[in-house]
């Protein structure tokens, strides 16, 4: 079978196997290999009624040397444990998480795109309350599943900039709420806002902090960074998801000689950035063309020619080079699949 690697989008495609593990009576069972895409679930499962769930997203890349590399899998395992703590779900042990991810990648090796395509294998671990409950209580039983699907390069015609919009009528998450956890409810809460922004021609909503609407939170479901005076600036907030891509870019920014500031970033400061970007696993960096403030009419423009800035470009290529194995992994970020 030859897939049309060049024309893959970011969607679901059936692969050969998924890996599952069930938690009941206070313990995790054995990893199971399934070829069925469907699950049988109790209609009173807590995930369906009370949203008791979390998910992760990471990628595996095939290098020039033919080897498959998984990026920062341990960090995703740890973040899923945080999400478990935030939703009172059973924690998936790091070793179990890693074993399931490795197994899912190995058994679906034929779906890992070739190096030249610029595509990757997207890995989606998901954990949810599977036990029946009608009162608002955590489930006794959990199901952990890892499936994979090949995804195309995010930027087909090359790395491109897009516009975002500040809309104060929508919040993604609240300061003492669930924004710092990777849970489905945050995404459900964003769908109306995302649709509205798309209808106005924007790639996503640019969220301010929900309490005061003074500081920058996130760009859609991605972290924000701005660059100015040789400094990488990224918001510090209780309501944003700690992006592993952002954490990696911070390290690389310091390596290429930038200063890094993680702090509150007032919305007006947008006017001072030379470059701005959204970062996350899907695209690494989505450079921002401009951010329009829907309520005030102010427009913060970062690029006039549609091209990403010099620093964004450098960081993007540097991170990708590590992911594909073109540059040495000096941080222990990569797991080579044997
Ligand atoms: C997943 C996610 C991100 C990006 O995190 P990465 O680990 O870099 O993929 C950013 N914000 C939100 C809300 C997310 O859910």
Tell me the domain boundaries of the chain. Answer: 5-151, 162-323
Q: What is the pLDDT of residues 185-242, one digit of tens each?
A: 999 999 999 999 999 999 999 999 999 999 999 999 999 999 999 999 999 999 999 9
**Atom 14 of ligand 1: nearest residue by CA position:** 221
Residue to mutate, 281, 282, 285, 320, ligand 1, most ligand atoms under 8 Å from C-beta: 281
Q: Which ligand 1 atom sits closest to the C-alpha of 246?
A: 8
Confidence category of residue 10, pLDDT binned at 50, 70, 90: confident
25 CA distance to ligand 1 middle (Å): 32
Domain formed by 5-151, architecture: 2-Layer Sandwich (3.30)
Q: What is the pLDDT of residues 241-290, one digit of tens each?
A: 999 999 999 999 999 999 999 999 999 999 999 999 999 999 999 999 99
223 CA distance to ligand 1 middle (Å): 7
Pairing of strands 27-28, 222-228: unpaired
Could you confirm whether domain 162-323 is CATH 3.20.10.10?
yes
47 CA distance to ligand 1 middle (Å): 21
135 CA distance to ligand 1 middle (Å): 31
- Burial code (b: 16+ CB inside 10 Å, e: under 16) for 27-64 equals ebeebeeeeeeeeeeeeebbbeebbbbbbbbbbbbbee
**pLDDT, position 54:** 98
**pLDDT, position 304:** 82
On whether the CB atoms of residues 211 and 175 are closer than 8 A, the answer is yes
Q: Return d(Cα 90, Cα 85) in angstroms, integer.
A: 8
On whether the CB atoms of residues 239 and 209 are closer than 8 A, the answer is yes
Q: Mean pLDDT across the stretch 137-163?
A: 91
**pLDDT, position 85:** 98
Which of left, alpha, beta for 230 (phi over 0: left; psi -120 to 50: alpha)? Answer: left
On whether the CB atoms of residues 277 and 225 are closer than 8 A, the answer is yes
Paired with 165 in beta bridges are: 205, 292
**pLDDT, position 6:** 83
Q: What is the pLDDT of residues 87-130, one digit of tens each?
A: 999 999 999 999 999 999 999 999 999 999 989 999 999 999 99
**pLDDT, position 155:** 78
Q: Return d(Cα 48, Cα 65) in angstroms, integer.
A: 44
Cite the active site residues.
182
pLDDT at 134 over 90: yes
pLDDT at 1 over 70: no
Q: What is the pLDDT of residues 24-45, one digit of tens each?
A: 999 999 999 999 999 999 999 9
Pocket of ligand 1, beta carbon within 6 A: 57, 182, 218, 221-223, 241, 243-246, 280-281
């Amino acid at each position: 079978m030859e897939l049309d690697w060049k024309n893959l989008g970011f969607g679901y495609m059936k692969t050969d196997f998924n890996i599952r593990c069930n938690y009941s009576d206070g313990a995790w069972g054995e990893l199971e290999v399934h070829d069925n895409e469907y699950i049988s679930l109790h209609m009173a499962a807590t995930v369906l009624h009370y949203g008791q769930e979390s998910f992760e997203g990471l990628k595996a890349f095939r290098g020039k040397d033919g080897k498959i590399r998984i990026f920062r899998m341990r960090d995703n395992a740890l973040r899923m444990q945080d999400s478990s703590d935030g939703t009172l779900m059973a924690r998936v042990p790091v070793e179990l998480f890693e074993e399931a991810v490795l197994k899912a990648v190995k058994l679906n090796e034929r779906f890992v795109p070739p190096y030249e395509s610029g595509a990757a294998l997207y890995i989606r671990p998901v954990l949810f309350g599977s036990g029946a409950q009608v009162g608002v209580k955590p489930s006794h039983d959990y199901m952990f599943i890892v499936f994979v699907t090949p995804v195309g390069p995010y930027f087909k015609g090359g790395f491109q900039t897009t516009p975002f919009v500040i809309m104060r009528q929508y919040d993604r998450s609240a300061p003492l709420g669930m924004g710092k956890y990777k849970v489905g409810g945050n995404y459900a809460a964003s769908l109306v806002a995302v649709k509205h922004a798309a209808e106005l021609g924007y790639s996503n909503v640019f969220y301010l902090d929900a309490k005061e609407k003074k500081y920058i939170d996130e760009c859609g479901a991605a972290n924000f960074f701005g660059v100015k005076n040789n400094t990488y600036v990224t918001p510090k907030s209780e309501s944003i998801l700690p992006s592993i891509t952002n954490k990696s870019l911070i390290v690389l920014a310091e390596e290429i000689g930038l200063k890094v500031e993680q702090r509150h970033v007032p919305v007006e400061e947008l006017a001072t950035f030379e470059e701005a970007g959204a970062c996350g696993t899907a695209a690494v960096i989505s450079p921002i063309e401009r951010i329009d403030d829907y309520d005030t009419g102010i427009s913060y423009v970062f690029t006039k020619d549609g091209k990403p800035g010099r620093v964004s470009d450098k960081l993007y290529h540097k991170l990708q080079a590590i992911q594909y194995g073109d540059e040495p992994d000096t941080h222990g970020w990569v797991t080579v699949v044997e």
